[in-house]
Amino acid sequence: MDTLSQIGSLHPLEIKVLTVLGQHQTQQARPLRQEDIGHAAGLEPSQLSMAVEWLLAKALIRVESEVVTPIVSLSKVGERYFEKYAPIERILSVVRDAKQTGKRITIQDLQAREGLEPSEMSGAVGSLKKEGAIRIVPGGHVEATGAPSPLAESLRTLLKDLHGAPRELHAFSEPLRRVIEHYAVKRGNPNEPFRIDDRVERRYQLTPTGQEAAQTIATQGLGDEVSQLTPELLKDGSWRTKRFRQYTISLRPPRLSAGRRHPYREFLDLVKRKLVSMGFQEMRGSLVETEFWNMDALYMPQFHPARAIHDVYFLKEPTHARAIAEPFLSRVAETHRSGDDTGSAGWGYAYDPERAKRLVLRSQGTAVSAHRLASGPAVPGKYFSIARCFRYDQVDATHATDFFQVEGIVLGPDINFRTLLGLLNLFAVEMAQAKESRFLPAYFPFTEPSVELHVRHPKLGWMELGGAGLFRPEVTLPLGVEVPVIAWGLGLDRMAMVALGIHDIRDLFSTDLDMLRTTRGHF
Amino acid sequence: MPTISINLKDFEQLLGTVALGEATAGRNVLTAESLEPWLSLVKGELKDHDHETGEVRVELQDSNRPDLWSAEGVARQIRIKLTGAAPAYPFFGAKPQARRRLLVAPGLEQIRPYVAACTACGYAVTEVGLAQLIQVQEKLADIFGRKRSTVSIGLYRLPAIVFPVTYDLVKPDDARFTPLGFDDKMSLREILAVHPKGLEYGALIAGHDRVPLLRDDEGQVLSLPPIINSREIGEVRIGDRDLFVEVTGTDLLMVVLTLNILAVNLADRGAAIEPVQMTYPYETALGKSMLTPLDFGQPRAIAVQVIREALGVPLEPKQIREALSVYGCEVRGSKDKLTVKLPPYRNDLMHAVDVVEDVAISRGYGSFEPVMPSQFTVGGLSRVEQMSDRVRDLMVGLGFQEIMANILASRQELIERMGLTGSEWDRIVEVDNAMSQTFSCLRQWLVPSLLRVEAASTRSFYPHRLFEVGEVAVPDQAEEHGSRTRMSLGALIAHASANFSEVHSSLDLLLFYLNCPYSLEPVAHPSFLPGRAGRILLQGHAIGLIGELHPEVLEQWQVTMPAVVFELEVDRLAEGTVEKS
Q: What is the dihedral of CA B524, B528, B530, B533, to 10 degrees?
A: -70
pLDDT for B578: 42
Q: Which of B395, B452, B480 would you mutate first to test chain A, the one with the most A CBs within 10 A?
A: B480
Mean pLDDT across A349-356:
94
- Taking the alpha carbons at both ends of chain B, their separation in whole angstroms is 52
What does the alpha-carbon distance between residue A150 and residue B79 come to, in Å, rounded to a whole number? 115
Main-chain dihedrals φ then ψ at residue A180, nearest 5 degrees: -60, -50
Chain B contact for A281 (CB, 8 A cutoff): yes
User: What is the rounded CA–CA span in Å between residue B64 and residue B66?
Assistant: 6
pLDDT at A513: 94
| B113: preceding bond cis by omega (within 30 degrees) | no
Instruction: Answer whether the bond into residue B164 is a cis peptide, omega within 30°.
Output: yes
B432 and B533 assigned to the same domain: yes
- pLDDT of A305: 60
Mean pLDDT of A248-274: 90
A463 at interface of B, judged by CB pairs closer than 8 A? no
Check CB contact under 8 Å for B397 and A259: yes
Identify the domain boundary among B365, B396, B419. B365
Q: How far is CA A288 from CA A399, B233, B407, B437, in A?
A: 21, 52, 12, 19
Helix (H) or strand (E) holding A344: none
B76 interfacial to chain A (CB closer than 8 Å): no
The answer to whether residues A38 and A46 touch, using CB atoms and an 8 Å cutoff, is: no
Outline where B36-187 has alpha helix (H): 71-83, 127-139
Among residues B71, B216, B72, which one has the least CA distance to residue B154? B216
Long-range pairs for B108-113: beta carbons < 8 A, 24 or more residues apart: B108/B167, B108/B169, B108/B212, B109/B282, B110/B208, B111/B169, B111/B205, B111/B208, B111/B210, B111/B211, B111/B212, B112/B204, B112/B205, B112/B212, B112/B225, B112/B226, B112/B248, B112/B249, B112/B250, B113/B250, B113/B252, B113/B282, B113/B284
Identify all chain A residues contacting B373, using CB atoms and an 8 Å cutoff.
380, 382, 410, 412, 414-415, 419, 422-423, 486
Q: Give the angle subtended at the CA of A471 by the CAs of A466 and A473, to the nearest 5°.
A: 170
d(CA A8, CA A15): 10
Q: Is B377 inside any structural domain?
A: no
On whether the CB atoms of residues B204 and B148 are closer than 8 A, the answer is yes
Same domain? For B397 and B353 the reply is no
In terms of domains, do B539 and B439 share one?
Answer: yes
Q: Distance between CA A432 and CA A428 in Å, rounded?
A: 5
Chain B residues 162-201 with CB within 8 Å of chain A? none
Same domain? For B391 and B514 the reply is yes
Residue B375 domain flag: no
B58 interaction partners in chain A (CB closer than 8 Å):
none
From B268, B292, B316, give the residue that closes a domain.
B292
Q: Angle at which helices A87-101 and A118-131 pack, to 10 degrees?
A: 70
Query: What CATH class does A3-72+200-244 carry?
Result: mainly alpha
Phi, psi (deg, nearest 5) at residue A479 = -90, 0
Say what the pLDDT of residue B579 is: 47
Residue B423: is it exposed, middle or buried by C-beta count within 10 angstroms (0-12/13-18/19+)?
middle
**Same-domain pairing of B225 and B305:** no
Return d(Cα A446, Cα A488) in angstroms, integer.
Answer: 11
Residue A251 pLDDT exceeds 90: no
Any idea what the Cα angle at residue A396 is, between residues A392 and A402, rounded to 5°? 45
CA distance B48 to B58: 7
Is B217 part of any domain? yes
**Residue-level pLDDT at A384:** 97
Task: Specify whether the CB–CB gap between B299 and B328 falls below 8 A.
Answer: no
Task: Name, of A2-6, A492-496, B352-356, the range with top average pLDDT.
Answer: B352-356
State residue A100's pLDDT score.
82
Which is higher by pLDDT, A133 or B365? B365
Are B352 and B402 in a shared domain? no
In this complex, do A511 and B313 lie within 8 Å of one another by their Cβ atoms? no
Evaluate whether residue B376 is within a structural domain.
no
In sequence order, the 6+-apart residues with CB closer than 8 A to the CB of B470 are: B404, B405, B407, B446, B449, B487, B488, B490
Cα separation, B401 vs A519, whole angstroms: 12
CB B247 within 8 A of CB B276: no
- Numbered ranges of CATH 1.10.10.10 in chain A: 3-72+200-244
Q: How far apart are CA B130 and CA B305, in angstroms?
A: 46
CB of A484 less than 8 A from some CB of B: yes
Q: What is the pLDDT of residue B21?
A: 57
**Residue A171: is it exposed, middle or buried by C-beta count within 10 angstroms (0-12/13-18/19+)?**
exposed
Same domain, B435 and B568: yes
Q: Does the distance separating the beta carbons of A439 and B399 come in below 8 Å? A: no
Give the distance from residue A232's alpha carbon to the nearest chain B alpha carbon, in angstroms.
Answer: 30
Of A347, A402, A442, the CB nearest to B408: A402
Distance from C-alpha of B74 to C-alpha of B7, rounded to nearest angstrom: 12
Q: How confident is the model at residue A211 (pLDDT cuts 50, 70, 90)?
A: confident
Residue A337 in contact with residue A330, Cβ under 8 Å? no
Distance from CA of B469 to the nearest CA of A (A): 10
Rounded-to-integer distance, Cα A453 and Cα B351, Å: 24
C-beta separation of B6 from B55 below 8 A: yes
Residue B402 contacts A where some CB pair is shorter than 8 Å: yes
**Which strand (E) or helix (H) includes residue B411?**
helix B411-411
Inter-chain CB pairs, A–B, below 8 Å? 286
Three-state secondary structure call for residue A343? coil
Contacts of B66 in chain A (CB under 8 A): none
What residues have CB less than 8 Å from A506, skipping those under 6 apart? Answer: A395, A397, A400
Q: Does A225 have pLDDT greater than 90?
A: no
Same domain (yes/no): B557, B513: yes
What is the number of alpha carbons within 13 Å of residue B36 lying toward its C-beta?
A: 8
B372, part of any domain = no
pLDDT digits (tens, 9 = 90+) for A406-438: 999 999 999 999 999 999 999 999 988 888 999
Q: A360: Cβ–Cβ under 8 A, 6 or more apart, which residues?
A: A288, A289, A290, A291, A294, A312, A313, A314, A315
Domain A76-192 is found in CATH 3.40.630: no
Q: pLDDT tens digit string along A501-523?
A: 888 888 999 999 999 998 887 77
Give the ipTM.
0.90
Where does a domain end: B83, B109, B142? B83
Chain A contact for B395, CB < 8 A? yes
**DSSP labels, A440-485:** EE---TTEEEEEEEEEEETTTEEEEEEEEEEEPHHHHGGGT--S-E
Chain B CB within 8 Å of residue A421 CB = yes
Give the three-state DSSP class for B33.
helix
Whole-angstrom distance, CA of residue B240 vs CA of residue B130: 10
Domain containing B115 — which CATH number?
3.50.40.10
Peptide bond into B463 cis (omega under 30): yes
- Domain span including residue B462: 383-580
Architecture of domain A265-518: 2-Layer Sandwich (3.30)
CA A484 to chain centre: 53
DSSP state for residue A303 in the 8-state scheme: S
Pairwise CB contact (< 8 Å): B381 & A378 = no
Q: Which of B144, B461, B464 sits opposite A305 (nearest CB)?
A: B144
Give start-end residues of each CATH 3.30.930.10 domain in chain A: 265-518
Check residue B249 and give its pLDDT. Answer: 95
Looking at the structure of chain B, the number of domains it has is 4
Q: Scan residues 492-521 of A and list those with Cβ closer than 8 Å to B.
A: 508-509, 511-514, 516-517
CA dist A32 → A37, A98, A199, A203 (Å): 6, 59, 16, 5
**B43 interfacial to chain A (CB closer than 8 Å):** yes
Interface contact A517-B401, CB threshold 8 A: yes
- The answer to whether B432 contacts A257, with C-beta atoms less than 8 Å apart, is no
Question: In A170-262, which residue ranges form alpha helices assigned H by DSSP?
Answer: 174-182, 208-220, 231-235
The Cα of A271 is separated from the nearest Cα of chain B by a number of Å equal to 12
DSSP β-bridge partners for residue B22: B29
Cα three-residue angle B550-B552-B555, rounded to 5 degrees: 115
Q: What is the pLDDT of residue B26?
A: 52
User: In this structure, are B267 and B137 located in the same domain?
Assistant: yes
Q: pTM of the entire structure?
A: 0.78
Residue A191 has pLDDT above 70, yes or no: yes
One domain for residues B494 and B396: yes
Q: What is the pLDDT of residue A306?
A: 53
Look at residues B483, B358, A500 and name the one whose alpha carbon lies nearest to residue B350.
B358
Return the residue of B nearest to A417 by Cα: B311
| Residue-by-residue DSSP string for B300-362 | EEEEHHHHHHHHTS---HHHHHHHHHTTT-EEE--SSEEEEE--TT-----SHHHHHHHHHHH
CB B243 within 8 A of CB B236: yes
Which residues, numbered 239 to 278 in chain A, qualify as contacts with chain B under a Cβ-Cβ cut-off of 8 Å?
A: 255, 257-262, 264-265, 269, 272, 275-278
Please state which of the ranges A237-246, A464-473, B192-201, B361-370 shows the lowest mean pLDDT.
A237-246
Q: What is the number of residues in chain A?
A: 523
In the prediction, which pLDDT does A417 show? 97
Provide DSSP, B205-251. G-SSSSEEEEE-TT--EEEETTTEEBTTTS---TT--EEEEEEEES-
**CB-CB neighbours of B301 under 10 Å:** 11
φ, ψ for residue B70, nearest 5 deg: -155, 160
Q: Is B327 on the interface with A (CB under 8 A)?
A: no
B451 and B573 share one domain: yes
Beta bridge partners of A201: A67
With both helix axes pointing from N to C terminus, report the angle between A45-57 and A12-26 in degrees, rounded to the nearest 10: 80
Contacts with A275 from chain B: Cβ below 8 Å: 379
Q: Which residues of A touch B455 (CB under 8 A)?
A: 511
Q: Is A336 on the interface with B (CB under 8 A)?
A: no
User: B475 CA to chain A: closest CA distance, Å?
Assistant: 10
- Return d(Cα B355, Cα A449) in angstroms, integer: 9
Burial class (CB in 10 A: 0-12, 13-18, 19+), B420: buried
Q: Which residues pair with B54 in a beta bridge?
A: none
User: Residue B332 belongs to a domain with what CATH number?
Assistant: 3.30.56.10
Who has greater pLDDT, B482 or A145? B482
pLDDT, one tens digit for every residue, chain B (581 residues): 889 999 999 998 898 876 665 555 555 678 888 898 899 999 999 998 888 888 999 999 988 899 999 999 999 999 999 988 888 899 998 777 778 999 999 999 999 999 999 999 999 999 999 999 999 999 999 999 989 999 999 999 999 999 999 999 999 999 999 999 999 999 999 999 999 999 999 999 988 999 999 999 999 999 999 999 999 999 999 999 999 999 999 999 999 999 999 999 999 999 999 999 999 999 999 999 999 999 999 899 999 999 999 999 999 999 999 999 999 999 998 788 999 999 999 999 999 999 999 999 999 999 999 999 988 999 999 999 999 999 999 999 999 999 999 999 999 999 999 999 999 999 999 999 888 889 999 999 999 999 999 999 999 999 999 999 999 999 999 998 999 999 999 999 999 999 999 999 999 999 999 999 999 999 999 999 999 999 999 988 999 999 999 999 999 999 999 999 999 999 998 876 444 43
Domain membership of residue B378 (yes or no) is no
Shared domain check, B269 and B130: yes
Residue B73 domain-assigned (yes or no): yes
Confidence (pLDDT) at B580: 45
CB–CB of A400/A508 below 8 Å?
yes
Indicate whether B149 belongs to any domain: yes
